[in-house]
Amino acid sequence: MPAAERRVRRAGARAGVAPPAVRTVGVEEELLLVDPRTGRARPGARAALAADGRSGAPALTPELQQEQVETATPPRTAMSDVEADLHALRDRARRAARAAGALAVPLATSPLPTQPSLSPGTRYRAISDGFGLTCAQQLTCGCHVHVAVASREEGVAVLDRIRCWLPVLTALATNSPFFEGRDTGYAGYRTQAWGRWPGTGPADVYGSVERYDGLLQQMLGTGVLLDAGMLYADARLSERYPTVEIRVADVCLDPADTVLITALSRALVETAAEEWRHERPPLATETAVLRLAAWRASRSGVESDLLHPETARPVPARFAVEALLEHVAGALVASGDAVRVERRAEHVLERGTGATWQRAVAAETGDLAHVVLRSAL
């Protein structure tokens, strides 16, 4: 980027000589399981998990449907370690899927028609009973990034300050243009399909842990959500770990894009925590406007306009990405991620996302099965 070197130098000056300890991050990726001949989603999770379990401590876990599995990296500080983990876990998923007679593919929706099969378990059955067709048709694969926070107070302050920046992450990760055998017209249709669940999308500014907890209790009190795990907001406090969990990204076709989203997520958290420490208030963007920003990011990815995170006005995608990079520049320098992130962001802006690649393969071959099979791990 023309401004990249200047941005890094300015951020380096701001970061000073004693940067804070680098926060740990962990990444969860959901992967589709498909038939190796037809490319159609197939229910192979139980066999894949059994095969994986024989190779040592389980690294794969089940998801809502039997046509998908999930991987999770351990907490890391260096993005090079995160990238190595992602490659290793994808290879492990590939081997487990093949042992089950399937292929594992990093696509956020199935390009071909599907008939999902519910995974076994009391909770999944309760979700199916409670949410009907929404559950029966749900087969999407996301990427969730966990970033360590020092306390729940810091975590809520972070949630309040990252909310307007998350649609840019959505745009950079778009990898679901096809759904049920057709081009949806969206770069990231997973966002639309996922939004059918209650409790999804951007949240209001909380202001305090007490208000966060109080709102969660009110939501649970309605009886609509089965448990706290169904707070499917764009970002939330993890119930299991001392982290903020950012949930807006499609699973990425290229693990280098996953690393980009991970590094930017950590930088957003660190920047937000720093703002909180200096008592800088969050932007007061209305949640209804953030929903429009998320829709715009899902619709066009990086190939058209996005809403500027600070003004909510339409701008070319490059300008929105540049604004994000400027916003988190100090945190990227402090963590040592600035050069990696600048280069990968430029790559995505120039060549497109996984959605761009999928559409190119579909245009070349005229066959969505080729899109699926060429994406196999």
DSSP, collapsed to helix, strand or coil, labels residue 368 as helix
Domain residues for the domain of 298 are 4-374
Q: Is the dihedral of CA 82, 83, 88, 90 positive or negative?
A: positive
Query: Residues 36, 103: contact at Cβ < 8 Å?
Result: yes
> How many structural domains is the chain composed of?
1
What pLDDT score was predicted for residue 21? Answer: 84
User: Whole-number mean pLDDT of the chain?
Assistant: 94
CA distance 156 to 167: 19
What pLDDT score was predicted for residue 5? Answer: 54
> pLDDT tens across 238-274, in order?
999 999 999 999 999 999 999 999 999 999 999 999 9
Stated as kind and residue range, the H or E segment containing 70 is strand 68-72
- Identify the weakest region by mean pLDDT among 50-54, 181-185, 244-248, 330-334: 50-54
The one-letter amino acid at 146 = H
Spatial CA neighbour of 173 closest among 5, 75, 317: 317
Residues in contact with 27: Cβ distance below 8 Å, sequence separation at least 6, in sequence order? 72, 73, 82, 85, 86, 143, 144, 145, 146, 258, 262
Chain-centre distance of CA 193, in angstroms? 14
What pLDDT score was predicted for residue 289? Answer: 98
> pLDDT tens across 209-242, in order?
999 999 999 999 999 999 999 999 999 999 999 9
> pLDDT tens across 87-110, in order?
999 999 999 999 999 999 999 999
Instruction: Count the alpha carbons within 13 Å of 23 in the hemisphere toward its beta carbon.
Output: 29
Q: What six digits make up the tokens of 277?
A: 């420490």
Here the CATH number for the domain that contains residue 46 is: 3.30.590.20
What pLDDT score was predicted for residue 11? Answer: 52
Spatial CA neighbour of 354 closest among 106, 93, 16, 78: 106
What pLDDT score was predicted for residue 12? Answer: 47
What pLDDT score was predicted for residue 2? Answer: 56
Looking at the predicted structure, is the pLDDT value of residue 155 above 60? yes
Q: What six digits make up the tokens of 10?
A: 């300015």
Chain-centre distance of CA 43, in angstroms? 23
Share of the chain above pLDDT 70, in %: 93
In the chain, alpha helices (H): 4-15, 45-53, 79-99, 122-136, 152-162, 166-172, 189-194, 209-221, 255-277, 287-300, 317-327, 329-335, 338-351, 354-365, 368-374
Looking at the predicted structure, is the pLDDT value of residue 195 above 60? yes
- pLDDT range class, residue 59, cuts 50, 70, 90: confident
Residues in contact with 129: Cβ distance below 8 Å, sequence separation at least 6, in sequence order? none
User: Which class for 102: exposed (0-12), middle (13-18), buried (19 or more C-beta within 10 A)?
Assistant: buried
Query: Residues 329, 10: contact at Cβ < 8 Å?
Result: yes
CA distance 371 to 377: 13
Q: Count H helices and E strands in the chain, helices first.
A: 15, 11
Distances (CA, A) of 126 to 22, 65, 122, 283, 339: 40, 13, 6, 38, 46
What pLDDT score was predicted for residue 10? Answer: 53
**Cα 198–199–201 angle (5° rounding)?**
110
Looking at the predicted structure, is the pLDDT value of residue 200 above 70? yes
- pLDDT range class, residue 124, cuts 50, 70, 90: very high
Share of the chain above pLDDT 90, in %: 93
Looking at the predicted structure, is the pLDDT value of residue 328 above 90? yes
Looking at the predicted structure, is the pLDDT value of residue 60 above 70? yes
> pLDDT tens across 1-27, in order?
555 555 554 554 444 433 458 999 999
Q: What is the pTM of this model?
A: 0.94
> pLDDT tens across 286-316, in order?
999 999 999 999 999 999 999 999 999 999 9
What pLDDT score was predicted for residue 15? Answer: 43
Q: Which residues of 272-309 are buried (b: 16+ CB within 10 A; e: fewer)?
A: bbebbeeeeebbebeeeebeebbbbbbbbbbbeebbbb
